[in-house]
Amino acid sequence: MQNSVSIRDLSLSFGAVNVLENLNLDIGNGEFLVLLGSSGCGKSTLLNCIAGLLEPTGGQIFIKDKNVTWEEPKDRGIGMVFQSYALYPQMTVEKNLSFGLQVAKMPKPEIEKRIQRAAEILQIGPLLKRKPSELSGGQRQRVAIGRALVRDVDVFLFDEPLSNLDAKLRSELRVEIKRLHQSLKNTMIYVTHDQIEALTLADRIAIMKSGVIQQLADPNTIYNAPKNMFVAGFIGSPSMTFLRGEIVEKDGKPVFHTNGVDFSLDGYSAAEPLQAGRKVVLGVRPEHVKVNEDSAGAEAHQATVDIEEPMGADNLLWLKHAGHSMSVRVAGARRFAPGTAVRLSFDMGLASLFDAGTEERI
Amino acid sequence: MQNSVSIRDLSLSFGAVNVLENLNLDIGNGEFLVLLGSSGCGKSTLLNCIAGLLEPTGGQIFIKDKNVTWEEPKDRGIGMVFQSYALYPQMTVEKNLSFGLQVAKMPKPEIEKRIQRAAEILQIGPLLKRKPSELSGGQRQRVAIGRALVRDVDVFLFDEPLSNLDAKLRSELRVEIKRLHQSLKNTMIYVTHDQIEALTLADRIAIMKSGVIQQLADPNTIYNAPKNMFVAGFIGSPSMTFLRGEIVEKDGKPVFHTNGVDFSLDGYSAAEPLQAGRKVVLGVRPEHVKVNEDSAGAEAHQATVDIEEPMGADNLLWLKHAGHSMSVRVAGARRFAPGTAVRLSFDMGLASLFDAGTEERI
Amino acid sequence: MTGQAHTGRPSKLLRNLSSKIASIPMMLTAVVIFLGGTIWTVVYSFTNSKLLPRAKFVGFDQYERLWDAPRWIVSIQNLAIYGAFTLVFSLVIGFLLAALMDQKIRFENTFRTIFLYPFALSFIVTGLVWQWILNPEFGVQSVVRSLGWTSFTFDPLYNADIVIYGVLIAGLWQGTGLVMCLLLAGLRGIDEDIWKASRVDGIPMWKTYLFIVIPMMRPVFITTLVIIASGIVKVYDLVVAQTSGGPGIASEVPAKYVYDYMFQAQNLGQGFAASTMMLVTVAIIIVPWAYLEFGGRKRV
Amino acid sequence: TDLEVTHWWTSGGEAAAVAELAKAFDATGSKWVDGAIAGSGGTARPIMVSRITGGDPMAATQFNHGRQAEELVEAGLMRDLTDVATRENWKDIIKPASLLDSCTIDGKIYCAPVNIHSWQWLWLSNGAFETAGVAVPKNWDEFVAAAPALEKAGIVPLAVGGQPWQAAGAFDVLMVAIAGKDVYQKVFGDKDEEVAAGPDIARVFKAADDARRMSKGTNVQDWNQATNMVITGKAGGQIMGDWAQGEFALAGKVAGKDYTCLPGLGVTEVIATGGDAFYFPLLEDEEKSKAQEVLASTLVSPAVQVAFNLKKGSLPVRGDVDLAAANDCMKKGLEILAKGNVIQWVDQLLSADSQKQKEDLFSEFFANPSMTPEDAQKRFVDIIASAE
Amino acid sequence: MSDTVALNPGPALAAATRAGVEPRGAKPRRALSGRNIMLYGTLAVAALYYLLPLYVMVVTSMKGMPEIRLGNIFSPPLEVTFEPWVKAWAQACTGLNCDGLSRGFWNSVRITVPSTLISILVASVNGYALANWKFKGADLFFTILIVGAFIPYQVMIYPIVIVLREMGIYGTLTGLVIVHTIFGMPILTLLFRNYFSSLPEELFKAARIDGAGFWQIYFRIMLPMSLPIFVVAMILQITGIWNDFLFGVVFTRPEYYPMTVQLNNIVNSVQGVKEYNVNMAATLLTGAVPLIVYFVSGRLFVRGIAAGAVKG
Ligand SMILES: Nc1ncnc2c1ncn2[C@@H]1O[C@H](COP(=O)(O)OP(=O)(O)OP(=O)(O)O)[C@@H](O)[C@H]1O
Ligand SMILES: Nc1ncnc2c1ncn2[C@@H]1O[C@H](COP(=O)(O)OP(=O)(O)OP(=O)(O)O)[C@@H](O)[C@H]1O
Ligand SMILES: [Mg+2]
Ligand SMILES: [Mg+2]
């Protein structure tokens, strides 16, 4: 049994609108896969297809090597956690957890055992007698996870489970989910449009745009070697700075040229030969730029600080550089008044180069 | 004219609930003040009082040294921007901007001039003929700002203007507001519960809790020298780690002791003498901990990695250290598998020490 | 519910079976009663059925006679007058009341109950009460006269020229409460920030209502309009109880014409023809509404 | 056995009369379950028809005999009473014979007539004329002449209730009285358009115009409220059928002393033999069917005829009963009946449809002073022309 | 009533006094401001118009006939009598039956209770199916249903008579209940559909994943969450069915005639003079049930309307 979930040529359309088209995806056993994409790109739709809540127009879905395309949700061995918690408001937490088991006519002692176990794992023991309205957002989300937990499923599906929580709680629960995955080792498919969640939680991230998976890779690859400009721009906050320019040859070596400024491409490992004259886009992440107040370094680019955004731990600078606006991250303690002239140096080993036409990584 | 807005002994209650009690606040001319606090702490209430949308139960409000406590909102020289944009949905953008001016019987050419100016500043010129429903969230918010702009007011009031936008747009508009403030130099009062917004935008931040201002200071002070544990815990993501312990004397110097581990307090400048035996809380921010894989350094604390949260630019580690859980931020490239043993060293100059009873900074 | 597992797509008919079974009453009602009944009525409007429906077709005879009948013309006119005034007044009064109620007033519940209670009463009751109040011998007229103004005349129910307005008074009394309720719910749905924004902009209250709030409440107004309009077309009991269509035929309405000719005159064909015409009227109301509601944008 | 009987006799006099029927029927060992539907025939008939056609028939129901039930009979929904009729020899005892004719379709008898109603009466309040200081009129023309005096005394000369059938009925009465029996028969019986458009009818419309003028200010709906105006002296007179008699009796008024009745408006003394009859829908229950026959014969039995008609103020359907207890007005009616001065009433001649159109016309005519008699006559001709 | 309102110091004034500060700016608005006088004045006048008929009904029903003939319908009774009430309830005659409204009352109860329950049950299940278990063509039926809501009842009477006859339930209580269910269906289904659609869809999905089926979700998840809309539906149906005259008279036999038919009979069976006092008492008695329902649950009604109805 290689894969936990396999999706073959999945298509789905609402009327004339094709939301998913011939989508293929294999998710390994025990893998934590994050579906990341902006609003409306079809993440929830895909998840609902896997759960059996939407009927695909075409294609097939296998869970544990069993074709479940036409199975009822309850027979697929999946549990699902929703953004809005979707707790049954009129039932106590305990009842919320046991509802599915009761419907399945599980014997009482077994139900109780499972609830005990879930309550322990999620530390919601003291809340069992309360109603959802008497819980905080984080507690509600924990109960919602518990509802999937008691059903003892193979695959957990999460649809933006943390979007309704405030920043603090979100980061707390993120850690808890990660811990849960480490201890349960179930397959988890997690939908979000928050890149931090994706980067921190995922074994692999699938970045979607208009129903098509743009890149499917581990977080590190996604972050450092994005397959195209969409992925590159989507991941990272603030966004990667894109500089439009072209390749020129200088001293026999390809060099990136924009607005009269040259960037050496030493250290960049291109997949294709970099021909002179090719229109390309250079992508630089804010933290891959070094800011020097002195003019040291051969490749020191001149820039002035436009806006400074101190964020505590970091300080974000918006610079004017060769007619472009560029964001750069420095340590929180380093402060620059707007107007300050600075010199930049770039770590080309971590930069990305895209074809200006196809927007694909070179 | 010293202050732009002065609030004296402001009280407000809804029925029996006192939301604000004897609140005092002075906001300088051209200052960007951020009111930061969790939901329901009374931020909007305060802002509405300043705007004249709520009638205070007691106290007075001065704007430009004029007592406006009983003035109509329109006569206070304020403009307001709302979280929900509050655009008039059936009017075009142009009409949205001009409606208030038309009602005030401003001559037509003047109206047009102002709209032109606002449109220029906010780059919404091409949108003027559209209806709000045909705009994106960010564009809507820009129009909402424009509505305050055309009225040529002294004080801008913002009530969580960016909360309804997604992360990407939020960071873009944040920069724009900052730029707007830099060019207009108006007084701005900005309500948010997003600490990044507060830290990046504010000249000064007022941190509120249950209607009381906890600390009023510039972002740097708030971040690095929080007045009490509430402020310390509220600002910073992930939160400052709090270690409960006590002061012991070691080699004649006060030392922080918890769970059998000692922390030298060298470099910490306490406002009060640190008596041995005093129960205190040590607060350490994630980025003020150095992580070493080798065992160098005299003050090297043993710890093991519990969870790793790679976030692209940074990598967040949750460590087990002396029975506490502690979060530490390292560069994104440095990866640690869970279970790895590491050694920590602390920068005490940037740590905070609080009294365990009063929770006030020592 | 779906028996066959991995074999492939299960039968289309069996999917959602419970839902289909549960919807049988609705489907039956829709098809057999509403659709079937309507078609049946339209078909038989082309016959000369008398007491019992008979399939003897006579073409458009019934319609020709219908449009020749002065009473039908009067009925249509009355419906137009009653309808137009009811629409305008119940919306205006209903909205005024709703706007007043939305001012964070005290005793809101009391006022609301007062405005709404007539809706609990049947048209029969409403008609009777207002017949009594408008009766010149006992009601308003005699009271005013007894106060000394002896030439005062207010006898709408006995004056053929204005009788329909007498009916209107009663109709409004009965119906505006609900309109107020609907519009109040709509007003409460307006984002409070809009109010704040308009106050900050210095826009007077009435202008805010007129130029901002009312346009924003378009969907609620449309729903309300449809509810009122459907009531107008059906108006029957009120007229029967209050005036019986009198004096003479001055306050006749189409629904009454239908009923009278179907049952009293024992001329089903004529009644069916008149109901078909009412159906056409309904269609004239419904089609634009359906277009506005469902045509423009697709909602999930 | 319980038999449900529906009817629209709900006013005071009527209810008392129905009670007689019920009493007599209960005495046969069955039970009369009363299904009164208030309003008028117009309200009640649709309900009765829908129940019969809807498959939930009552055991017996009132109709005005004539054409109202024709189709129900044709549709085979009604019980054939021929057996009972032959057994009890209705052919001979029921007078005038036209009553039974109205019940006969294709040679079979489908209804049991219970009374004769005549519309041709002018009821006058002696007190009102006394107040106005004029003599009680003896015919329509005198009545019209006396109207101004009544008006001066604040009395409405002629009470006409708002229900449409009252206006239409009053016109029909005027027609018989003023244009005479033959014209009446030509117009309604033969549907003769030319006669309807002719000068005789024009005269009738003139008279109706007078009536309209005299009825101004009536402001009541129900016929018995209008009658009540006459009883209390608020109105000078009313054109109404003999059932008004019941109201006078109930109010304790004495014919000749408190009020005066003028059959045929004192002009043409004829009586229309309309009336009420009971129809018996086909029932499946054997026992009930038996009881229906018992009820039919009970209704026609002499004792019931006397008791019922005395209360109702109408005339019995058989000539062989003794109405010694009858009052002045009733006796006048009986006399006319005995002379054979009878006509068929409009219900028997015109379809309900034409009747309804007529009602529409005359209720509009009486309520709307701006409608000229000439216009009204034109529309009247149209109705007659299209009548079947 | 309006006077007491206006004289009451409003929150603003009270607050200013409490704080004890003398603001230097413009004085705060007074409770007796022109705005408040206008506001409560208008409301009071409107309230008067709405209350007048009720007042007239109550007052008239407690007068004797002689007093009524004296004329003024607005004057309070000189001599309060409950005779008309007694008569309306227990003595008024229609034909031979002289038991007033009392019989009709119980008939109305017998009609209203099952009709209300069944029509709401059927409509709520339909609305639920339409909102959560859409199947192909469902919307078509629904559209027909909604358009059907506008068809004048008269158009439908005859076909329904035929249908009920064919089913053999014409004139029975069952038949009447079905008729009420049919005619209540469009508006109720719309109400329930809108309401169920407004409930979070994820709740429904969660229940499906938990393995609950159509009925389990309906009874165990949806029903307990739908109190507001059920209240609205109850109120609409109770008042609608209780007040119904046409169906009650056309589709039943006299032993089931509801109170409104009895009311109509009493009001239209004039014996001599119209007994306005009895009529008014009868009217009030007939309207009592829906009125009480409104007075008791009017607040829930408005809330429910806001929750489900307005969204169209
Ligand atoms: N029931 C439906 N009928 C028609 N279109 C739908 C329906 N549900 C979703 N869509 C469309 O399908 C597309 C994908 O929707 P989906 O909910 O999967 O997006 P998503 O990626 O989950 O977005 P979000 O982050 O906002 O949840 C959207 O464009 C949406 O408008
Ligand atoms: N009209 C009102 N009536 C009663 N209580 C109110 C009213 N408005 C606000 N409150 C209460 O006053 C407190 C402060 O509300 P406020 O809206 O100022 O909070 P906030 O800080 O703006 O929160 P958020 O971040 O959620 O907007 C809350 O506890 C709220 O419940
Ligand atoms: Mg989604
Ligand atoms: Mg707020």
Model confidence pLDDT, tens digit, residues A182-222: 988 999 999 998 888 999 999 999 999 988 999 999 999 99
Task: Mark which residues 149-168 of A lie under 8 Å from B by CB.
Answer: 166-168
Answer whether B16 contacts ligand 2 (Cβ < 6 A).
Answer: no
Nearest by CB to C103, which of E39, E157, E214?
E39
List the residue whose alpha carbon is closest to atom 17 of ligand 1. A44
**CATH topology match: A3-234 vs A241-355:** no
The model carries a pTM of: 0.84
b/e burial code for range B316-331 (CB count within 10 A of at least 16 → b): bbbbebbebebbbbbe
Which whole number is the average pLDDT over E17-40?
57
ipTM above 0.90, yes or no: no
Q: What is the pLDDT of residue B299?
A: 58
Query: B241-355, which class in CATH?
Result: mainly beta
Superfamily for the A3-234 domain: P-loop containing nucleotide triphosphate hydrolases (3.40.50.300)
Q: What is the pLDDT of residue C173?
A: 92
The predicted-structure confidence for B309-350, as pLDDT tens digits, reads as follows: 888 888 999 999 888 889 999 888 888 888 888 888 888 888
> A160 CA distance to ligand 3 centroid (A)?
7
Which whole number is the average pLDDT over D284-302?
87
Question: Is residue E88 domain-resident?
Answer: no
Out of A125-129, B240-244, D271-275, E305-309, least confident range: E305-309
Distance spanning both ends of chain D, measured CA to CA: 41
Residue D42 has pLDDT above 90, yes or no: no
Out of A87-91, A296-300, B225-229, E277-281, least confident range: A296-300
Q: Do chains D and B touch (3 or more CB pairs under 8 A)?
A: no
Residue C251 has pLDDT above 50, yes or no: yes
Which whole number is the average pLDDT over B283-289?
91
Confidence of residue B108 (pLDDT cuts 50, 70, 90): very high
Residues E189 and E296 occupy one common structural domain: yes
What is d(CA E174, CA E308) in angstroms, rounded to the nearest whole number?
Answer: 30
Which 3 state secondary structure label does DSSP give D340?
coil
Residues E107 and E45 occupy one common structural domain: no
How many Cβ atoms sit within 10 Å of the Cβ of residue A187? Answer: 26
Residues E250 and E303 occupy one common structural domain: yes
Q: Which residues sit opposite E11 in a β-bridge?
A: none
Which whole number is the average pLDDT over C201-229?
86
How long is chain C?
300
Confidence of residue E121 (pLDDT cuts 50, 70, 90): very high
Q: What is the pLDDT of residue C297?
A: 43
Out of B43-57, B248-262, C49-63, least confident range: C49-63
> A30 CA distance to ligand 3 centroid (A)?
23
For chain E, how long is the longest CA-to-CA vector? 83
Residues E140 and E216 occupy one common structural domain: yes
Which whole number is the average pLDDT over B18-42?
91
The predicted-structure confidence for E238-248, as pLDDT tens digits, reads as follows: 888 888 887 88
Question: Is residue E285 domain-resident?
Answer: yes
Structural domains of chain C ordered from first start: 68-299 (1.10.3720.10)
The predicted-structure confidence for B155-172, as pLDDT tens digits, reads as follows: 999 999 988 887 778 888
Residues E74 and E111 occupy one common structural domain: no
Q: What is the pLDDT of residue E24?
A: 45
Residues E46 and E144 occupy one common structural domain: no
Residues E58 and E117 occupy one common structural domain: no
% of chain A surpassing 90 pLDDT: 44
Residues E162 and E296 occupy one common structural domain: yes
Out of C296-300, D257-261, E41-45, least confident range: C296-300
Question: Is residue E153 domain-resident?
Answer: yes
Nearest by CB to E254, which of D35, D46, D50?
D35
- CATH number, domain at E186? 1.10.3720.10
Token pair of C171 as six digits: 């109709």
Q: Does E199 touch chain A (CB under 8 A)?
A: no
Q: List residues, by chain if needed, whose CB lies under 5 Å from ion ligand 3.
A: A 44
Which residue of A41, A189, A194 sits with most ligand 1 atoms within 8 Å of its CB, as the best mutation to test the pocket? Answer: A41
Answer whether B211 contacts ligand 2 (Cβ < 6 A).
Answer: no
Q: In this structure, which ligand is nearest to the CA of B48?
A: 2
Contact (CB<8Å) B57/E24: no
Reference E275, options E37, E41, E91; nearest CA is E91
DSSP assignment of A234-273 equals HSSSSPPEEEEEEEEEETTEEEEEETTEEEE-TT---SS-
Residues E147 and E253 occupy one common structural domain: yes
Residue D244 and residue D313 in contact, taking contact as beta carbons nearer than 8 Å: yes
Q: Which residue of C has its CA nearest to D47?
A: C263
Which whole number is the average pLDDT over D32-46?
76
- Sorted by where each begins, the domain ranges of chain A are 3-234, 241-355
Q: What is the pLDDT of residue E282?
A: 87
List the residue whose alpha carbon is closest to atom 29 of ligand 1. A40
Chain A residues inside the 8 Å CB shell of E203 = 84, 86, 88
The predicted-structure confidence for A70-121, as pLDDT tens digits, reads as follows: 888 888 989 999 988 889 988 999 999 999 999 889 999 999 999 999 999 8
The predicted-structure confidence for D55-76, as pLDDT tens digits, reads as follows: 778 889 888 766 667 788 888 8
Which whole number is the average pLDDT over C144-172?
85
Contact (CB<8Å) E19/B59: yes
Q: What is the pLDDT of residue A299?
A: 58
Which of the two residues, B126 and D224, has the higher pLDDT score?
B126
Chain C residues inside the 8 Å CB shell of A75 = 5
Q: What is the pLDDT of residue E2?
A: 36
Q: Do chains A and D touch (3 or more CB pairs under 8 A)?
A: no
CA C179 remoteness from chain centre: 11
Nearest by CB to E171, which of D9, D38, D56?
D56
Out of A45-59, A233-247, C126-140, least confident range: C126-140
Across chain D, mean pLDDT equals 84
Q: Does B176 touch chain A (CB under 8 A)?
A: no
Q: What is the pLDDT of residue D65?
A: 66
The predicted-structure confidence for D96-127, as pLDDT tens digits, reads as follows: 788 888 888 888 888 888 888 888 888 888 88
Chain B residues inside the 8 Å CB shell of E18 = 57-58
Torsional class of B85: left (φ above 0), alpha (ψ -120 to 50), beta (otherwise): left
Contact (CB<8Å) B11/E21: no
Which whole number is the average pLDDT over A323-346?
87
Strand ranges across the sheet with A204-209: A78-81, A155-159, A187-192, A32-37, A204-209, A212-217
Q: On the CB side of B102, how many CA atoms lie within 13 Å of its CA?
A: 12
Confidence of residue C300 (pLDDT cuts 50, 70, 90): very low
The whole-angstrom distance between A158's CA and the closest CA on chain C is 23
Q: What is the pLDDT of residue C34?
A: 86
Which of the two residues, D42 and A137, has the higher pLDDT score?
A137
The predicted-structure confidence for D358-380, as pLDDT tens digits, reads as follows: 888 988 888 888 888 888 888 88
Chain B residues inside the 8 Å CB shell of C191 = 84, 86
CA distances from C294 to A143, B90, B178, C297, D26 (A): 39, 20, 44, 6, 63
Residue A169 and residue A142 in contact, taking contact as beta carbons nearer than 8 Å: no
Residues E107 and E70 occupy one common structural domain: no
Residue A7 has pLDDT above 90, yes or no: yes
Residue D289 has pLDDT above 70, yes or no: yes
What is d(CA C213, CA C192) in angstroms, rounded to the nearest whole number?
Answer: 11
Across chain B, mean pLDDT equals 89
Chain A residues inside the 8 Å CB shell of C298 = 15
Residue C167 and residue C242 in contact, taking contact as beta carbons nearer than 8 Å: yes
Reference C242, options C168, C140, C153; nearest CA is C168
Alpha helices, DSSP H, located in chain C: 17-22, 24-28, 37-44, 61-68, 70-101, 108-116, 123-134, 140-146, 163-188, 192-200, 205-207, 214-216, 218-234, 237-242, 254-259, 268-290
Chain E residues inside the 8 Å CB shell of B71 = 25-26
Answer whether A40 contacts ligand 1 (Cβ < 6 A).
Answer: yes
Question: Is residue E163 domain-resident?
Answer: yes
Across chain C, mean pLDDT equals 83
What is d(CA B235, CA B229) in angstroms, rounded to the nearest whole number?
Answer: 10
Residue B26: in which H helix or E strand, if any?
strand B17-28
What is d(CA B220, CA B225) in angstroms, rounded to the nearest whole number?
Answer: 8
Residue E276 and residue C138 in contact, taking contact as beta carbons nearer than 8 Å: yes
DSSP assignment of A164-222 equals TS-HHHHHHHHHHHHHHHHHH--EEEEEES-HHHHHHH-SEEEEEETTEEEEEE-HHHH
CA distances from A259 to A245, A284, A322 (A): 8, 16, 6
Which whole number is the average pLDDT over C176-182?
89
% of chain D surpassing 90 pLDDT: 0
% of chain B surpassing 70 pLDDT: 98
Confidence of residue A296 (pLDDT cuts 50, 70, 90): low
Token pair of D299 as six digits: 């209704």
Q: In this structure, which ligand is nearest to the CA of B45?
A: 2
Residue A259 has pLDDT above 70, yes or no: yes
Q: Choose, out of A49, A87, A90, the residue to mutate when testing the contact with E (most E CBs < 10 Å).
A: A90
> A190 CA distance to ligand 3 centroid (A)?
11
Nearest by CB to E205, which of A82, A99, A103?
A82
Domain count, chain E: 2
Q: What is the pLDDT of residue A51?
A: 92
**Which residues are within 8 A (CB) of E173 and not within 5 positions of it... i.e. 6 or more apart?**
E110, E111, E114, E252, E256
CA distances from C29 to D54, D295, E2, E159 (A): 19, 41, 49, 12
Question: Is residue E25 domain-resident?
Answer: no
What is d(CA B86, CA B164) in angstroms, rounded to the nearest whole number?
Answer: 12
DSSP assignment of B145-189 equals HHHHHHTT-SEEEEESTTTTS-HHHHHHHHHHHHHHHHHH--EEE
Q: What is the pLDDT of residue E273?
A: 65
What is d(CA B37, CA B54) in angstroms, rounded to the nearest whole number?
Answer: 20
Q: What is the pLDDT of residue B248?
A: 92
The domain of E128 spans 102-308
Q: What is the pLDDT of residue B229?
A: 93
Residue A308 has pLDDT above 70, yes or no: yes
> A160 CA distance to ligand 1 centroid (A)?
14
* Residue E123 amino acid letter: A
The predicted-structure confidence for C1-20, as pLDDT tens digits, reads as follows: 333 444 456 666 667 788 88
Strands B32-37 and B204-209, bridge-based pairing: parallel
